[in-house]
Structure 1
Amino acid sequence: MFKTYRQRGNAENQIKELKCGFGFDKTDSSTFARNTARALITGIAYNLVQLFKQLFVSEDRRSTISSLRFSLFHIAGRITWHARRVVIHLASNYVYKNWFSRLMDEVHQLAT
């Protein structure tokens, strides 16, 4: 009984993350086709984030898209171009700097 209830609770959490974190409940357009396309793109984005979390984020850090967005993507910095390369300069006092660097190394290893 508890296993079934936990599965139901997990499904409710996934729906909540889709709605709150990805805007799945937004139907801004007046046409069905546009709203369907938006829902499909949102579903794909959700699945990509889940894959990213499974591959690169440890179990103890696994959390919602809102917390990942805050810890990984809200970083002060600047982008420069030097010798035909794009260089990203991140703030030196970034709290999650070591975690971000490790994640980027793992992503680069997967890409090569």
Structure 2
Amino acid sequence: MEETFNEALKDKRVGLVRADSGFYTQDLLDYLEGKQLNYIMAARMYPNIKNTVWSLDNWIELTKGIELNEMIFNHTDGKSRRYIVIKKKVEDRPKAAGKLLFDDLPGYRFSCYVTNLDLPLDQVWNIYNTRADCENRIKELKEDFGLDNFCLKNFWATEASFRFIMVAYNLMSLFRHFALNHHNRATLKTLKVYCFALGAWTVNHANRKVLKIALNTKKRPWMDGLFSQINNLSPPFCFIPNA
């Protein structure tokens, strides 16, 4: 986490840190608060958290099958923090995420998040849920860029390979954003078929090197538009990706 903030994000302003329960530790929460960063983090359902959730009353119904609540909780020798709890009725929300915590409530799943944001319960939950798209990016890195298909003998060689894959992914993201006018709808497999894996050759014409691309008639206007879009660009690029 320190490397992420000190290197990758050293020139960036971070408005919010969202993290799953794998990051839920007192040290990390203290670290984020020490840097005065806002955060929403999924909490692990330790027995003491479960007991506190069980004692909650006055649930707020957000919509059919979903109720919200909050609590101030602290672990032993820990700081008191705000926790948002979501209760989902399985009968109404059979695909709802969360854990079945209580034998006495078998029809309900629970999720719990710790945050330092002073926002309404539903806003905190909605803001956290927007992180779901990052799982699609991880899936794309694995399936299209081979992120999980290599492991070199030397740790730092593996690290270097990983970072070059990230560079390749970022280049494709820039291409999608500026040439295709969207950020993540076209995967690398799609781009290969439509943009890269095309029959082509170069010729000299009027003392200039010309690229000839084999395209059917229907696809030529689309490709002309793509090159026109690129020709209108010049660095430096200002790129703000979607959340």
> TM above 0.5, one fold?
yes
Query: Aligned pair in 2 of structure 1 residues 84, 22: CA closer, same or farther (>3 Å)?
Result: farther
The residue that corresponds to 1:85 in the other structure is: 208
The residue that corresponds to 1:29 in the other structure is: 152
- Give per-residue Cα distances to partners, 1:13-62, cap 9 Å, x unaligned: 10011111111123253222221111111111111211221222134x93
Q: How many residues align?
A: 110
Structure with the higher fraction of residues in strand conformation: 2
2:200 matched to 1:72? no
SS state at 2:150 partner: coil
Q: Structure 1: how far apart are the matches of 2:180 and 2:211? A: 22
Q: Structure 2: how far apart are the matches of 1:95 and 1:73? A: 17
Query: Aligned pair in 2 of structure 1 residues 34, 102: CA closer, same or farther (>3 Å)?
Result: same
Using the TM superposition, give the Cα deviation of residue 83 of structure 1 relative to its aligned residue in structure 2, in angstroms. 4.7
Deviates more, 1:16-25 or 1:49-58: 49-58
The residue that corresponds to 2:169 in the other structure is: 46
Deviates more, 1:28-37 or 1:66-75: 28-37
- TM-score normalised by length of structure 1: 0.78
Structure with the higher fraction of residues in helix conformation: 1
2:222 matched to 1:99? yes
Using the TM superposition, give the Cα deviation of residue 4 of structure 1 relative to its aligned residue in structure 2, in angstroms. 3.6
Q: Structure 1: how far apart are the matches of 2:217 and 2:127? A: 40
Over the matched positions of the two proteins, sequence identity in percent amounts to 28
- Give per-residue Cα distances to partners, 1:44-92, cap 9 Å, x unaligned: 1111211221222134x93211111211112122222345422111124
User: What amino acid is the match of 1:11?
Assistant: C
The residue that corresponds to 1:7 in the other structure is: 131
Q: Structure 2: how far apart are the matches of 1:3 and 1:42? A: 29
User: What amino acid is the match of 2:204?
Assistant: W
What 5-or-longer segments of structure 1 have no aligned partner? none
Find the structure with the greater CA-based Rg: 2
Structure with the greater relative contact order (CA < 8 A, sep ≥ 6): 1 or 2? 1
